[in-house]
Structure formats: C-alpha cells, structure tokens
Chains A and B, each alone.
Chain A
C-alpha cells in the first residue's frame, strides 16, 4: 500500500502486538469489572488479569531485539522502542502488584484504575516509539488523558478532585502549546516525519528562523510541562498529593520516563540540526529544575510532596543529558532512567505498604519505623539514599555516569551545579531517615509485617537498587545498544 505522496507503507500489525495485547487486556478488565457480579468473579481477578496481559506483552516485545522496522512510517520498532517497552510494562506490573491492597481500600472505581494504567502504558510506549510528530502527539494525549482521570480516583479524599481538575486544565494548556509548536515546526520543515524534518532542518531553514525558534520554545515548554520541569511544574506537588499513591508512583515513574524518552528521540533526531537554537533553553530549564526542585523539597512535611519535589529535581538531572545530547549522554540518560525507576518505585511501594498500615502521609508519621518494621525502614532508607546519590546504590552510579557525560559534553558548570544540588538533596532525604531511626515510635510500638505481595515488590526493587549500584554493566550495555539507533 502507498500513501498519497507515493511512499510505500507496510501495515505489519504484528509489530504492534504488545500494545494490542495491553489494550485488549484493558477492555477485558473493564468488562470483567462491569459484569463481576453476574460472572461471580472475585475482586482479585482484575489485577491478575492485568498482570497476565502485561507479562505477555513484555515477553512478546522481546521478539524484536535488534530489528529496525517501522509500521506505516508512523511507529519505529527498534532497540530504543524495545528498551522502553520492557521498562514501561515492567513498571506497570510492579505498580499493580504492589498496590492491589491499597486499591481495594482507597480507590473508588477499581476496574477503571487498572484499565487506565494499562492504557497509559500504551501511550507511554508510543511516545518512545513514534517516528511522526502527530503519532507522538496522540501518544502523549493517550498517556495524559488516562492520568487526568486516574488522579481523580481516590475515594473519600477531597484533594483528589482538586488535583485532577488542576492537572487537566494545565495539561490541556500545555498540550495546546505543544501542538502549536509542532505546527510551527511543520511549517518550517514541511513534514511531520522525523527523518524528513531532520533533513529539512539540516538543509537550512531558509529565513524561517523566527518561526523555528518560536516553535522550539513552545515545544520545550509543552514537554517541560509534561515532565514537570521548572517553571512549568506548579501543578506537580498538588497532583502528587491529591492522587492516589499508586498513581503518584506511576506518574513519577512512567509518565516522566516517557516524556524523557520522547525528548531524547526528538532532540537527538529531527531537532538535532537546530541544536544551537534549543540547547540554551534546555540548559536553562535544567538548571532551574534542579535548583528549585531540590531547594523547595527541603521544606516539605508530607511524604508525597517531598517525593514530588525530589522527582522534579531528578528531572533536572535528566534534562542535563538532553542538553549535552550525544551518544554518551543518551546511553547515560537511559541508564539513569532505569536506575531512577527502580529506586523511585522502591520508595513508593514501601510508602504504599506503610500507608496501608498507618494511613498517614506525614513525614513525622515515620517515627520509629526502624523498630516497628526494620525491613521496611531499610527499604525506604536504601531508596532515599539511592535517590540522594549515596555510593553502592543505583542512584550514585547512574547519576555519576550522567554527570560525567554532561561534563564530557562541555557542560562542566551544569555538572558542577548538579553535584552540589545532589548534595543538598541528601539533606531532605536524611530528614525522613532520621525520623525512622532516631526516634521512638509514637503510640503503637508493636512489630508488624507486610503482605506477601508487599514483601515481593519491595524485595525485588531493593535488590535491583543494590545490584544496579554495584554492577550496572548489563543495563549500561543495554542502554548503549538502545541508543545506538538514535544518532544515524
């Protein structure tokens, strides 16, 4: 088949099999939820179904290792896509397994919860896989719309509705900006295909510099919003605080990683020829994001808000890798995203387990956790230290390689600033650790245990954090193979 310009198109639907599986699972989940009473299904069937679908998608996506094919010139299936397919499906599995008890207690619409996570995973994967601006835009919206709804799902929490409204309104504005920016880019380059944009920009903009710069500003702002980079971060703390905890975890993991994946795909491919026009912008927001995220985090009392600001800071580090875009920094970014996901999920899964037991989100509520549940305290400590960049944990090594790449790319001042901010961040992570280890528990000092799935998820993530900190070579090699397809 050919399109109207005469390009041959191949509609090999099997290339999209993982996402098809996930989408079908999502509809099955909603259906099973709707007819649960008629079909006499237990409540546990929904998470089971979702996990089975995701595992199937993960396994199937391994079929295309080291292939380089595209679907109808819209979607690329290469190592980069495969890397993020595996990463995002794995993240969704972890979130679902780790939070099903929380969901039963605190979520209003259980079926929708699982279905939205599944659908947003599809959006996230296509953000990394798209090779056409419009496909990428649609993927962003699939992810965003799922999350707008998911944020509002918390039962009995008035903050949830407020957060969802804020997130939706501001998200809509950001999407509009992004779309406007993309249309300007189309005007300059004459195509929505990544490969053709790259060619057109490399050949010169022909006096269209101003529209290009305006378009780049809008694109960076729109993506900056989605990644909650400063100064477009205002909604993040409220959205994080109001959303149900598993959704907060999911936003901070998949949503961030997907935006960064898209960022890298765009700025290392179609927009690379315009490097001098956008490099300063990204460097600027990277500095602002690192600085503000880490400094404001110092004053937080609520664990969700603390993690919100800490994740803003983390995005700052990642944007640094976009600034210095190169083969070295791209693989460092993927490695860091991998390490960040594992660590951040470890912290969130532990916090969810903690919340299931105590129902508190205040940092002071963690008092004496080292005595009532030393294992959980250890998981949170390892996670926090890793986020803060303590040696022998994932956070140090991945961050170190990231900073090295930035310094290597000629942005020494940026790397220096990042090292200093990373030191600052240790202080607020320590505030949580201090509560757990230094003080006696308030009230009930009995020991308690996690649920089996709580143990399972936290143990796997804890092991991941330590293993990545000590021996990251396998993931680094994979990240390297995944990014090699970008710069061609």
Chain B
C-alpha cells in the first residue's frame, strides 16, 4: 500500500509529461486525479493503522542491490509508524491543496504539474523509507523538482533563491551521507529498524561528530537559526503552491529526520547535546519572531514565522521525553496545515492585489469577506488559540519541555506572545482599517478550487483543535518507542 502511495504521484507525473501538447490544459485534471488518489491512499493508511501494534506497519521489502563477494547490500524497504502515518496524511492533503491552488497556472502547465507530482513522490519517499540509503536517495531527489519549480515559476529573484535553497540543502546532505556511511559501516547495515534496535557504539570517528554531521542536514532543512537564511528567500520567490509544499511538508523532513534517525540511532549523543539543541531552539523561536515583526512583505512575514514555529519542534525534541516528542511531532503536523493555509491565503490575496507590500493594503475584508475570515482563522490557529490545532501542539510541547529546559520553555512561551503580536498586527493592517478606492474592484474567493482548498485545511485545523485524539493517539504510539530509547540512554 505504501509502495502504491509512493509511486502513484510519479506515475501521474509521467502521464502528465506524456500528454500531447494540444491537450496540455488537461494536465491539471490528471494531476488532481492522481494527487486525490494518493490522498485517498494516505487516508486509508492512516485509518487502517493499528495503534496498538508494535513496530512498523504496511512494510514492503526486497533486496535492491547486492554484490557477489562484497557482502554489501542496499534494500528497498518502506513502512510507517504513528509518526510517519500522520505526516503521510499531511502530505497527501497538502498536495491536493497545492494542485488546486495552481489551477490557473498558464506557463508550461505540463511541466509544472509533473514536477509537483514528482515532488510528492520524493517527499513521500523520505517519510516512508526505512533504509538510510533509500532515505538519502529520496532526500536528494526532492531537490530537482523543487529547484525547477522555484526557478521557473517563481517571481522576483527566483534563480538566486532557488540556487540558495539548493546549495544549503546540498551542503547539509553531503555531510549527512558521510554520516550515514560511517553509521552503516559501524553497524554493518543501513536498515533503520536494525540500527534502532542495536545502535552502534563506536565508529571510525567519534559518534558525536557523526551526530552533528547528520543533524546539520536536518537543522538546515528545519530550519534553525543560523542556517535558516535560505527559507525566507525561497518562500518569497516561490509560486504559492510551492510555498505551501515547502512550509507544509518539506520543512517536516528535517524534523522527521531528527525523530526517525538522529535520536533513536544516536541516543547518547542526542542526550549529551540536548542543552545545545534547546538553546538553538530558543534562539530560533525568539529571533524568528522578532524578525517577523519587522517584515513589510506579507509572504516574507509568514516565511519568518515558520522559522519561529519550527523552533518549537526542536524545543520539543530537546526535552527527550515522550510528551516533548509528541509535541514536536504534533507541531510538525499542525504547522504544516496552518502555515499551508496561510500561504494559500497570501497567494489568493496576491492574485487579486498583485502586491505583497503590507503598507499598500488596507481594509481588504470589506471587499473579500471570505478570504479575510479564513485568513483570520489561520492566523488565530497560528498564534495558538485554544480550540484550534496550533494550541494543542504548543501546549503539549511546553508541558513536555518545562521540566527539562525551563529557561528555553519560557523563551518559547514568550515567542507565542510575539506571534500573537505579528499575526494580529498583520491582519489588522491588511484586512481592517478603512477600505480604500484602490482595492474597490477586488472580488472574493468564488472559484470552486479556491474554496475547496481553503475548506479542506480549515476543517483539518478545527478538527484537530476540537478533538485532538484524532491525531494525538496515533502520534503518541509512534513516538513512544523513540522516547523510550532516548529516555533510557
């Protein structure tokens, strides 16, 4: 089933690419069909996931590359636990949303949707791979469509931003590969489950070096201060749907990597450096929030708020306890849905106003009540209003970390206050205030694809906020073994 989920989008990409030229307007329908099918598969995975079972589920495995005498093999193995099941669901949802809000892309549509679907396959591969080399493979594969999507369909300094994104990630992943190789040699296997069960105790170089080599790639992706600078550029210049994917699922690859690989395989090192991680997290939260307050560009503002919010993920991780890890995993899911929605809204606003300068906008809610309202909902969710998804995640995180890192937790809570500041201030400047003549001609979101995309995400945010057990039980089942490993170390 996971293999189907993994390769369905790739098949869709191939089909889109092979459409004859005169039928290229049908590309979006093909893309929608395939992403919807993948979404249904991800729902099925999530629903049929057995929370009480131990270990990975829906595992497909075969030996991929094998040498004669060398005794060296790479396997294809996919499987999910509670953690990845939730992220797979998020990925399925956000891809459908991304396809929907790309509905009026006109330039080179075939290529666009092909890359978008390929991106889904690559990210899915990262979430379901249970072999370090296979994980790395998909991690790198994701760069290709992402680079092209930003640099062809972006705006502003798109080539610069795309290249910056690429170079940051490549630099990180080069170290990650070296780290993986050393882990693999030390343990004699690249199988994540086997490595987790029996973590290597020594390698060619100190394990702490390996830990940081691997963490570097994940921290760049998360991103964390001071390696976050690619994110605002990439977000600002990317097309809307790509921003949604980037904030919604690509950043989660970093957090997922930490939870799946760095913590369980190198638990002692993770514990040794937990204070450093907490400090990094606290700085990211506060620094990200302060920089967000100063932004004049609507999209850049949301982008910097991501830096701040992803800091909570690292904060939750640094507590190394079941509650903190659950909080981190929840935060990944909810941030994906909320920030995805925020980017959708910013994209819809930009489609109409053709500017992202906050100072040029005023009183938009009078012209587009629906967009304004949904934006407010997303904003409130983002600042952690009770009853919405963000609150659940942040509360869990803080409860988990308070005991381990009181100072960092207080910094985190202060970050929430700041986020209330920038979100509300942004909503006030853009949507409230006197309606101006300049924006008199704006229309509200009327197209079916705009409404469907918004409705889907609002629904998820409210559902998780009102009845968190939908998600928390699955995630808790996923992080429990990880917490046990790092907790016992």
Give chain A's interface residues, CB within 8 Å of chain B. Answer: 327-328, 331-332, 370, 385, 390-392, 396-397, 400-401, 403-405, 407-408, 412, 415-416, 419-420, 422-423, 426-427, 430, 434, 437-438, 471-473, 476-477, 480-481, 484
Nearest A residue to B68 by beta-carbon distance?
A480
List 18 extra interface pairs beyond A437-B148, A480-B68, CB under 8 A: A328-B72, A396-B140, A401-B67, A404-B72, A404-B181, A412-B182, A419-B174, A423-B171, A423-B174, A430-B147, A430-B166, A434-B151, A437-B151, A438-B151, A471-B64, A476-B65, A480-B69, A484-B68
20 of the cross-chain contacts (CB-CB < 8 Å) are: A331-B69, A390-B144, A391-B140, A401-B65, A401-B67, A401-B72, A403-B181, A405-B70, A407-B181, A412-B204, A412-B205, A419-B177, A423-B173, A434-B159, A473-B64, A473-B65, A473-B66, A476-B65, A477-B68, A480-B68
Bound Cα distance A232, B138 (Å): 38
User: Which B96-143 residues have C-beta < 8 A from chain A?
Assistant: 111, 133, 136-138, 140-141
Known: A385-B144, A403-B181. Contact between A472 and B69, CB under 8 A?
Answer: no
Known: A391-B138, A471-B64. Contact between A400 and B133, CB under 8 A?
Answer: yes
Nearest B residue to A400 by beta-carbon distance?
B133
Q: Are B178 and A419 in contact (CB under 8 A)?
A: yes
Q: Are A426 and B170 in contact (CB under 8 A)?
A: yes
Give chain B's interface residues, CB within 8 Å of chain A. Answer: 64-70, 72, 111, 133, 136-138, 140-141, 144, 147-148, 151-152, 159, 163, 166-167, 170-171, 173-174, 177-178, 181-182, 184-185, 204-205
Q: Are B181 and A415 in contact (CB under 8 A)?
A: yes
Counted as pairs of residues, one from A and one from B, with CB atoms less than 8 Å apart, the total is 88
Nearest Cβ in chain B — how far from A149, in angstroms?
40
> Sorted from nearest, which 4 A-B pairs have the closest CB atoms?
A480-B68, A391-B137, A423-B174, A328-B70
Bound Cα distance A438, B148 (Å): 8
B147: which A residues are within 8 A, CB to CB? 430
A430: which B residues are within 8 A, CB to CB? 147, 163, 166
Nearest B residue to A447 by beta-carbon distance?
B21
Bound Cα distance A480, B69 (Å): 7
Nearest A residue to B148 by beta-carbon distance?
A437
Q: Are A331 and B70 in contact (CB under 8 A)?
A: yes
Known: A400-B133, A407-B185. Contact between A416 and B70, CB under 8 A?
Answer: no
> By DSSP majority rule, is chain A's interface helix, strand, loop, or mixed?
helix
Nearest B residue to A426 by beta-carbon distance?
B170
Nearest Cβ in chain B — how far from A101, in angstroms?
27
> By DSSP majority rule, is chain B's interface helix, strand, loop, or mixed?
helix
Nearest B residue to A481 by beta-carbon distance?
B68
Option from A397, A407, A415 in Cβ contact (under 8 Å) with B65: A397
Option from B140, B148, B167 in Cβ contact (under 8 Å) with A390: B140
Nearest A residue to B143 by beta-carbon distance?
A390
Known: A400-B133, A419-B178, A423-B170. Contact between A327 and B64, CB under 8 A?
Answer: no
Nearest A residue to B72 by beta-carbon distance?
A404
Bound Cα distance A412, B209 (Å): 14
Nearest B residue to A478 by beta-carbon distance?
B68
Known: A404-B72, A407-B181, A480-B69. Contact between A438 and B159, CB under 8 A?
Answer: yes
Option from A390, A407, A480 in Cβ contact (under 8 Å) with B67: A480
Bound Cα distance A420, B72 (Å): 23
Option from B67, B72, B141 in Cβ contact (under 8 Å) with A477: B67
Bound Cα distance A91, B452 (Å): 55
B68: which A residues are within 8 A, CB to CB? 331, 476-477, 480-481, 484
Q: Are A427 and B178 in contact (CB under 8 A)?
A: no
Known: A419-B178, A423-B170. Contact between A390 and B141, CB under 8 A?
Answer: yes
Bound Cα distance A392, B121 (Å): 13
Nearest Cβ in chain B — how far from A270, in angstroms?
22
B138: which A residues are within 8 A, CB to CB? 391
Of B67, B72, B147, B151, which is in contact with the most chain A CB atoms at under 10 Å from its CB?
Answer: B67
Option from A328, A332, A415 in Cβ contact (under 8 Å) with B178: A415
B140: which A residues are within 8 A, CB to CB? 390-391, 396
Bound Cα distance A404, B136 (Å): 14
B185: which A residues are within 8 A, CB to CB? 407-408
Option from B69, B159, B181 in Cβ contact (under 8 Å) with A327: B69
Nearest Cβ in chain B — how far from A119, in angstroms?
34
Nearest Cβ in chain B — how far from A257, in angstroms?
20
Nearest Cβ in chain B — how far from A3, in angstroms?
36
Nearest Cβ in chain B — how far from A409, in angstroms?
11
Q: Are B159 and A476 in contact (CB under 8 A)?
A: no
Q: Are A476 and B178 in contact (CB under 8 A)?
A: no
B166: which A residues are within 8 A, CB to CB? 430
Bound Cα distance A370, B163 (Å): 19
Nearest A residue to B63 by beta-carbon distance?
A473
Bound Cα distance A397, B177 (Å): 13
A426: which B residues are within 8 A, CB to CB? 170
Q: Are A391 and B66 in contact (CB under 8 A)?
A: no
Q: Are B69 and A427 in contact (CB under 8 A)?
A: no
Bound Cα distance A422, B185 (Å): 21
Option from A385, A396, A397, A420 in Cβ contact (under 8 Å) with B174: A420
Bound Cα distance A482, B159 (Å): 46
B167: which A residues are within 8 A, CB to CB? 427
Known: A328-B72, A412-B205, A480-B70. Contact between A471 and B177, CB under 8 A?
Answer: no
